[in-house]
Chain A
Amino acid sequence: MSKFKKKKSGDLPAISTASLPDIVFMLLFFFMVATVMRQNTLMIENKLPTADQIEKLDKKDLVMYIYAGKPSSRYRASAGSEARIQLNDKFADVSEVKAFILAERASKREELVPFLTTALKVDGDTNMGLVGDIKKELRDVQALKINYTTRTGSAMDNFN
């Protein structure tokens, strides 16, 4: 009879961790695919306003980014607390916008130039004076397609 008696060990069998790498790889691939490397290091505060009438910018390589906002706390000592423009990793003056647009245009293929869009990533707390100045510069260089980058949400939140 003892032949059929099962050997019983008291402790639980160890959970196999052989599939752990598979799970981790799955997560890894998700983040690798979803990641967009930031092109510019932000030196300004950039809390975008919200809106709900938005369009998606789908051709990432045909977008020029202009950032504006108050310098973040690290740069406040050197750049002041007034809202500034940031182009390509450094603070810029309004007069440099033109040169920036022309340089961006020169780096693209000629047939793509008419499709270039300027995305204005402006902090919600900025004064319209600065934005108006940027728009005036853009008009002067015929960069007329613009996109006010916003977060999705109700526009009513902007007044709080």
Chain B
Amino acid sequence: MARRSAPEVNAGSMADIAFLLLIFFLVTTTIETDSGISRKLPPPQEENIEPPILKQKNIFVVELNKNNDLLVEEAPMELKDLREAAIKFLDNGGGQGVEACTFCQGAKDPSSSDNPTKAVISLRNNRETNYSAYIAVQNELVAAYTTLRNREANRLFGKSFEQMEKDLKDVNYAGNKESLKEDIKQIQFMFPEKLSEAEPKK
């Protein structure tokens, strides 16, 4: 029997089918935001534990009241000045003897913090405080730590702290990851993120 060639399939409607699928995916797509400020919560505490005694000058009180007003050390402050103030406090290095800070570039004011390793930022908020105001303050405080860490990382290792963390995650990083990890730890030890949050007041 003579072989008959198969008739060609009409591909004219392929575009229609593809459009249909395209419109479906266009409608269902939501570009999800999956980035944000990472934080670590303190572990739950036993009931009757004495809080450690801290020198008053090593505590930097940041308070957000129920009208979303920012109070730093009981004085009102604009949000844009907070980063600067936090850096000034952390980098002060007013300690003497064992508590002296060798790498601080601050004013060495004896009435401000002794050492970045001792300095604690205490964030207090009210139950009525707005979440977005709280995030803005968190953001500025994290930024203060990042700025200082970047400065020290640049001085010691010739690249910023953010770059070091990026390199650690990068699979194609050419250098030694173990020593990089140690370097990151060293910077984190110099400027530990000591951000304490009080339970919101009623």
Contact = CB atoms under 8 A, between A and B. Distances in A.
B48 interface: no
20 contacts: A21-B18, A31-B22, A31-B25, A32-B25, A49-B131, A51-B135, A53-B139, A55-B38, A117-B38, A127-B128, A128-B127, A128-B128, A128-B134, A132-B200, A135-B41, A146-B39, A148-B135, A149-B36, A156-B79, A158-B132
Contacts of B126: 128
A32 B22 CA distance: 8
Interface stretch (A3-11, A34-42, A85-93, A108-116): A34-42
Taking chain A's interface residues, is the majority helix, strand, or loop, or is none over half, making it mixed? mixed
Indicate the member of B40, B130, B132 with the most A CB atoms within 10 Å.
Answer: B132
Contact of B135 (A35, A58, A139, A155): A155
Interface residues of A, number: 59
Contact of B25 (A28, A142, A146, A149): A28
A125 B130 contact: yes
Interface residues of B, number: 51
A26 to B, nearest CB: 10
Interface in B124-142: 125-136, 138-140, 142
A150 B36 contact: yes
B156 interface: no
A131 B36 contact: no
B188 to A, nearest CB: 15
Contacts of A56: 34-35
A55 B36 contact: yes
B37 A147 contact: yes
Contacts of A57: 34-36
A129 B36 contact: no
A145 interface: yes
Interface in B1-43: 11, 14-15, 18-19, 21-22, 25-26, 28-43
